[in-house]
Amino acid sequence: MPELHFITAEVCPFAQRSHLALLEKGLDFKHSEIDLRDKPAWFEAISPYSKVPVLQRGDDVIYESAIINQYLDEVYPTPPLMPADPGQRARARIWIDFDNVKFTVSFYRVLLEQDQERRAALARAIVDQLNFIEDEALAKLGYASGGAGQYFLGSEISQVDLDYYPHFERFSVLTAYRGIEIPSRCERLRAWMATMEQRPSVQATRHSADYHVDAYKRYADGSADGTTARDMRTA
């Protein structure tokens, strides 16, 4: 019996972040898929935010995908998902925070927004964030050592890559519903996506653009009423 129990929904990008971390670390785990529109009582009993992912290990019940990934890295340090150097670790946390506080929030808000003018402002903010990732993360960190870097922090994959990847896999949703494209100048970002798509962990968890576009229909028409939509409307 594996010591880890991963409670997830394959549609969920946050759950995919932690699924990627489990696979990158080569861990054995029990996998429970739940229906987010009909959550079982046992799940509600252990998930204080009523959200996936949740990871159980003995008495530890961990939620919040980025925190699950930090926990996994601390309990199972090999292969590492965070750099050893404190300065690099701090930079990794800055980018994980940017993802959670800025990029991911913009992703949901531009979909949920039904007012044209506010939607256009949110779309511009996303393009600014993409340029910022290109110039401040990938150009200065990932490619800092003379073009050798492929990942956010350099030549090694880290939690930063795993946390960002799922919403980039779903970028087609922003294009389909809101006409937002990754700017052509973001060459490193495109190369990073291509690199990530080669990882076996990504290949084992990914879904097609059509699957994602369909999954976000209720966000785009403003009718989504789950916990995530409610949280993102006020984020």
Ligand X SMILES: N[C@@H](CCC(=O)N[C@@H](CS)C(=O)NCC(=O)O)C(=O)O
Residues serving a catalytic function are 12
The binder of ligand X chosen from 4, 6, 7, 12 (CB under 6 A): 12
**CB 39 to ligand X: min, Å:** 7
Could you say whether residue 226 binds ligand X (CB under 6 A)? yes
The nearer residue to ligand X, 64 or 214, going by C-beta atoms, is 64
Dihedral sign, Cα of residue 83, residue 87, residue 90, residue 91: negative
Cα distances (angstroms) measured from residue 32 to each of 10, 39, 40, 46, 223? 10, 12, 11, 13, 27
Please identify, among the stretches 51-59, 75-83, 148-156, 200-208, the one whose residues bind ligand X according to the rule CB under 6 A: 51-59
Could you say whether residue 52 binds ligand X (CB under 6 A)? yes
For residue 122, the Cα-to-chain-centroid distance in whole angstroms is 19
C-beta contacts of 232-235 below 8 A and 24+ residues apart = 232/105, 232/108, 232/109, 232/112, 233/109, 233/112, 235/105, 235/108, 235/109
Give residues 140-159 in contact with ligand X (rule: CB under 6 A).
none
Could you say whether residue 109 binds ligand X (CB under 6 A)? no
Strand, coil or helix: what is 125? Answer: helix
The H-or-E segment that residue 54 falls in is: strand 54-57
Could you say whether residue 137 binds ligand X (CB under 6 A)? no
**How many CA atoms does the CB half-sphere of 101 hold within 13 Å?**
6
The binder of ligand X chosen from 64, 89, 193, 215 (CB under 6 A): 64
Could you say whether residue 110 binds ligand X (CB under 6 A)? no
Please identify, among the stretches 46-54, 119-127, 182-190, 193-201, the one whose residues bind ligand X according to the rule CB under 6 A: 46-54
Q: Pick from 25, 2, 9: which is nearest to 200 by CA?
A: 25
Counts of helices then strands in the chain (DSSP H, E) = 13, 4
Q: Which residue is nearest to ligand X (CB)?
A: 226
The nearer residue to ligand X, 64 or 156, going by C-beta atoms, is 64
d(CA 196, CA 66): 18
Total residues in contact with ligand X, by rule CB under 6 A: 14
**CB 15 to ligand X: min, Å:** 6
Could you say whether residue 183 binds ligand X (CB under 6 A)? no
**CB 12 to ligand X: min, Å:** 3
**CB 81 to ligand X: min, Å:** 16
Cα distances (angstroms) measured from residue 158 to each of 32, 47, 190, 235? 25, 27, 18, 26
Could you say whether residue 14 binds ligand X (CB under 6 A)? yes
Residues recorded for the chain: 235
For ligand X, the binding residues (CB under 6 A) are: 12-14, 36, 50-53, 64-66, 226-228
